[in-house]
């Protein structure tokens, strides 16, 4: 009896070092954020500098604030717009370059290269692409017959799309690498058998490739979703969240509230909302995927 109980300690000891770091840098700050979100603390107001307990007032105020609701709306558009698009395109790229053609190495490099750029450099390059009149993006578009507004980063209807385009351009190549690795790990004999049985390309994709890549997809959707919530560097460079808040997303707003408004309580409440959103997605993504696996 005693041997059994002590032996079960081994795995806990093995994860102890990781646990210490996760506890110190993830779990503790999370608990701390939840705690401070129930307090009013504003560092730039002398009499609110010391925290006062106010219950859920920070949350109530946030959900009655049209600015915050607009930020949530922008965030959903941003995430739902960039994540599926970049994953689908990443798969298409991976599928296209996963074959033996001359020069395929260059094509892979071409698709992958935005990934190795820091986000700030990528955004700076795109700032020049987006320049009205002579920017590369606008001249290309107008050659394709586009006649709409060219002021991508200053137009309230285009600014969010502009930062989404940059995120898409930056990430599709990154996710492609995971799919490429997944595709190259697939067994050849299954496909050969399928071809012998007369399966079309679409049938091969639908009944062999997609199911076998499910774990890759789970991984890619998870990191893509979390990444979409976390990447705001390009917004600092391209639009500063503007014009009039049109391209402000959750994490950027969190930064503004914490460091421009110096409102610790409200910033903590936004942090909790952000963590909750990420948890809801990640857990449901895992559960959906696991259920499919069982079925």
Q: How far is the CB of 282 from another protein (least distance, A)?
A: 28
Task: Please select the residue that binds another protein; options are 98, 115, 121, 131, rule is CB under 8 A.
Answer: 131
Task: Please select the residue that binds another protein; options are 15, 22, 27, 43, rule is CB under 8 A.
Answer: 43
Residues in contact with another protein, total (CB under 8 A)?
40
Inter-helix orientation angle 159-184/214-230, to 10°: 150
Q: How far is the CB of 89 from another protein (least distance, A)?
A: 27
Q: How far is the CB of 26 from another protein (least distance, A)?
A: 17
The answer to whether residue 200 forms part of the interface with another protein (CB under 8 A) is no
Task: Please select the residue that binds another protein; options are 50, 189, 197, 260, rule is CB under 8 A.
Answer: 260
Task: Please classify residue 233 by burial: count the beta carbons closer than 10 Å to its beta carbon, then call 0-12 exposed, 13-18 middle and 19+ buried.
Answer: middle
The answer to whether residue 120 forms part of the interface with another protein (CB under 8 A) is no
**Widest Cα–Cα separation across the chain:** 79
Q: What is the distance in angstroms between the CA of the first residue and the CA of the last residue of the chain? A: 38
* CA–CA gap between residue 208 and residue 187 (Å, rounded): 10
Task: Please select the residue that binds another protein; options are 46, 101, 144, 196, rule is CB under 8 A.
Answer: 46
Stretch that binds another protein, among 90-98, 129-137, 191-199, 215-223 (CB under 8 A): 129-137
252 in Cβ contact with 241 (< 8 Å): yes
Q: How far is the CB of 193 from another protein (least distance, A)?
A: 52
* CA–CA gap between residue 228 and residue 10 (Å, rounded): 37
Stretch that binds another protein, among 29-37, 92-100, 206-214, 237-245 (CB under 8 A): 237-245
The answer to whether residue 49 forms part of the interface with another protein (CB under 8 A) is yes
* CA–CA gap between residue 129 and residue 114 (Å, rounded): 14
Task: Please select the residue that binds another protein; options are 31, 45, 279, 283, rule is CB under 8 A.
Answer: 45
Q: Which is nearer to another protein, 11 or 198 (CB)?
A: 11
The answer to whether residue 44 forms part of the interface with another protein (CB under 8 A) is yes
What residues contact 206, with CB distance under 8 A and at least 6 apart? none
Q: How many CB atoms lie within 10 A of CB 236?
A: 14
The DSSP symbol for 42 reads: B
DSSP letters for 158-205: THHHHHHHHHHHHHHHHHHHHHHHHHHTS-HHHHHHHHHTT--HHHHI
Q: Which is nearer to another protein, 3 or 184 (CB)?
A: 3
The answer to whether residue 127 forms part of the interface with another protein (CB under 8 A) is yes
Of 149-188, binders to another protein (CB under 8 A) are 149, 151, 153-156
111 in Cβ contact with 173 (< 8 Å): yes
* Binding footprint of another protein on the chain (CB under 8 A): 2-3, 5-6, 9, 13, 16-17, 20, 43-46, 48-49, 124, 127-128, 131-134, 149, 151, 153-156, 238-240, 242-245, 256, 259-262
């Amino acid at each position: 009896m005693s041997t059994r109980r002590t032996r079960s300690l081994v795995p806990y000891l093995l994860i102890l070092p990781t646990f210490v770091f996760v506890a110190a840098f993830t779990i503790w700050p999370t608990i701390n954020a939840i705690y401070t979100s129930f307090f009013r603390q504003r560092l730039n107001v002398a009499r609110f500098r010391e925290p006062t307990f106010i219950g859920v007032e920070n949350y109530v105020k946030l959900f009655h604030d049209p600015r915050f609701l607009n930020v949530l709306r922008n965030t959903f558009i941003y995430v739902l717009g960039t994540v599926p698009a970049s994953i689908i395109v990443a798969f298409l790229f991976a599928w296209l370059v996963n074959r033996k053609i001359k020069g395929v190495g260059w094509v892979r490099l071409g698709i992958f290269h935005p990934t190795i750029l820091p986000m700030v450099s990528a955004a700076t390059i795109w700032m020049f692409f987006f320049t009205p009149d002579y920017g590369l993006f606008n001249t290309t578009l107008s050659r394709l017959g586009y006649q709409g507004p060219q002021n991508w980063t200053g137009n309230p209807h285009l600014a969010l799309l502009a930062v989404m385009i940059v995120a898409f351009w930056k990430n599709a190549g990154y996710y492609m690498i995971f799919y490429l690795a997944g595709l190259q790990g697939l067994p050849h004999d299954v496909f050969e058998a399928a071809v012998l049985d007369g399966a079309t390309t679409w049938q091969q994709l639908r009944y062999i490739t997609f199911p076998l890549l499910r774990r890759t997809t789970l991984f890619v959707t998870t990191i893509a979703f979390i990444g979409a919530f976390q990447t705001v560097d390009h917004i600092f460079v391209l639009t500063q969240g503007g014009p009039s808040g049109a391209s402000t997303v959750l994490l950027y707003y969190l930064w503004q509230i914490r460091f421009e408004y110096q409102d610790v309580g409200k910033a903590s409440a936004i942090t909790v909302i952000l963590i909750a959103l990420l948890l809801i997605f990640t857990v449901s993504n895992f559960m959906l995927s696991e259920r499919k696996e069982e079925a």
